[in-house]
Structures are given as structure tokens and as C-alpha cells.
């Protein structure tokens, strides 16, 4: 693709597509990740390509959940590595959380490339290479994880759609924070805290809230998390989308 003029009405979207396309060419993102990105972009259209108040609320509660966690882990896949690597590292350092590479289309080469990208951008310790544990009843490569990472985590932040692993992690008793632009997906309906937002906006916003909430005591943070109603949030988001579409015609 040639140079995209900043005056183009889809400038940001086109630049994002370019980044994920280059990541595929470099072996970071799997080719099916481009399909997943396009699907997410379609849902982003529906919410107006902005962070809704419901998503902002979810990002605030997600920050609180990460702050009170004993062993939080941020899961990294190919699309996240292409779009949000520096932001994920920044969030993980502030909370702090562990970083673990976890892939559906897992190869040794992709794992190593993503780990190298994380290291180049300042990450110190990265999990996922050993894969010395398995999430019960998850019979594909996303079930492979590090025993000192996702397997032993109490809170897992899972950017992008990941329905069956989300359920499997819930079955292990973990708190799952999911970022998913599709409010109808299995992930959105299964996670403890669902953020219906573009991952590019969501990760920095979680860190923004974490910095604001850091001064609160643990009791206040726990009350914030315990009072969260994920179903209400999903219903409010769907209602917003319905009203927005009706108002356009």
C-alpha cells in the first residue's frame, strides 16, 4: 500500500490494517488473524469507533481487578503483538502483571518471534515458551500454558475473542477480563468482566484507570469488582447499538 494521506477519512483504520498485515508478513500474526481483525472492525463501526461509557466502566473495573489480584497475567497473541505491544508492556509494568504468549496457531517460530518483539520493546520476563501445563478440557494449543503463568494466575486479561479458553479458565476458578468488540460472542457472555472496545483504545484506558485507582484501598477496589454486573453492561451496549442504528435511517 502506498502512503496513506492523513486527510483520508479512514486513515487510522487503514494504518491499523497496514500494521497487522506487516505483522503477518513478519510471522507475528497468523493469516486468520486478519479475518479476526476485520470482524472486530465491523463491530467497532456499530459502536461508532469510540469508547462507550459502558466500556469505560468495564475498563475501570478491570483495572481494579488487576490491582487487587495476587497473580495477574496478561495474555498476548499475534494480533495483540501487532497492535498493542508497547501498551501491554506499559500496563504490565504498572500493575504489575506477568506477560504470557498464548497462540491458537502455535509454532515454535511464532512464539519466539513474539517473545523477541516483547524483549525488544522492554519486557523483562515473558512466559509461554515452556508450555509445561495444560488448561483442563481445552484440547488445542491455546490450552498449553506455563505453570508459573496463566495456569497459576488468579486473574487473566485476555485481549480479543477467545470463547472456549475463556470458559475453561472460568472453570478453573479464575477471573477473566476479556476485550471483545462483539457483545454477542461466547467470550463476551462468559467473561467476568467484558470490555466491548477496540483493544487499541482499551489497553491504554485500563492503565489510565489503574493509575487513578492505585491510591484506593483494597476494600474499595474489591467492592467495585464485586458490584460489577457484566450482563447489564452487555445489554446496555446492545441497546445503544440498536438505538444508534435506528437513528441513522
Cell 500454558 found at: 145
Q: Which CATH class is domain 53-242?
A: alpha beta
- H-run or E-run covering 157: strand 155-159
pLDDT, averaged in runs of 10, over the chain (249 residues): 69 78 84 81 93 98 98 94 94 98 91 95 95 91 92 94 85 97 94 97 98 96 98 98 92
- H-run or E-run covering 57: helix 53-68
- Delimit the domains of the chain by residue range: 53-242
Contact criterion met (CB below 8 Å) for 49 and 185: no
Q: Please state the pTM of the whole predicted model.
A: 0.93
Three-state secondary structure readout of the chain: CCCCCCCCCCHHHHHHHHHHHHHHHCCCCCHHHHHHHHHHHHHHHHCCCCCCHHHHHHHHHHHHHHHHCCCEEEEECHHHHHHCHHHHHHHHHHCCCEEEECCCCCCHHHHHHHHHHHHHCCCCCEECCCCCEECCCCCCHHHEECCCCHHHCCEEEEECCCHHHHHHHHHCCCEEEEECCCCCCHHHHHCCEEECCCHHHHHHHHHHHHHHHCCCCHHHHHHHHHCCCHHHHHHHHHHHHHHHHHHCC
- H-run or E-run covering 159: strand 155-159
Q: What's the confidence (pLDDT) of residue 139?
A: 83
Amino acid at each position: 500500500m502506498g502512503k496513506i494521506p492523513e486527510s483520508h477519512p479512514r486513515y487510522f483504520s487503514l494504518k491499523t490494517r497496514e500494521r497487522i498485515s506487516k505483522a503477518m508478513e513478519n510471522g507475528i500474526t497468523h493469516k486468520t488473524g486478519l479475518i479476526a481483525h476485520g470482524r472486530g472492525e465491523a463491530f467497532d463501526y456499530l459502536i461508532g469507533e469510540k469508547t462507550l461509557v459502558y466500556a469505560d466502566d468495564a475498563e475501570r473495573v478491570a483495572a481494579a481487578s488487576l490491582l487487587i489480584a495476587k497473580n495477574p497475567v496478561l495474555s498476548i497473541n499475534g494480533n495483540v503483538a501487532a497492535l498493542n505491544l508497547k501498551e501491554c508492556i506499559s500496563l504490565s509494568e504498572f500493575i504489575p502483571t506477568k506477560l504470557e504468549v498464548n497462540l491458537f496457531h502455535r509454532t515454535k517460530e511464532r512464539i519466539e518471534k513474539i517473545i523477541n518483539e516483547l524483549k525488544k520493546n522492554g519486557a523483562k520476563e515473558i512466559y509461554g515458551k515452556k508450555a509445561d501445563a495444560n488448561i483442563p478440557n481445552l484440547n488445542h494449543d491455546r490450552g498449553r500454558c506455563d505453570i508459573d503463568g496463566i495456569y497459576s494466575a488468579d486473574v487473566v486479561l485476555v485481549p480479543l475473542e477467545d470463547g472456549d479458553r475463556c470458559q475453561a479458565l472460568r472453570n478453573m476458578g479464575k477471573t477473566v477480563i476479556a476485550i471483545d468488540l462483539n457483545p454477542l460472542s461466547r467470550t463476551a457472555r462468559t467473561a467476568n468482566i467484558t470490555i466491548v472496545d477496540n483493544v487499541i483504545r482499551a489497553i491504554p484506558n485500563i492503565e489510565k484507570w489503574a493509575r487513578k485507582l492505585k491510591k484506593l484501598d483494597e476494600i474499595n477496589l474489591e467492592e467495585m469488582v464485586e458490584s460489577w454486573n457484566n450482563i447489564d453492561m452487555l445489554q446496555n451496549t446492545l441497546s445503544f447499538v440498536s438505538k444508534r442504528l435506528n437513528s441513522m435511517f
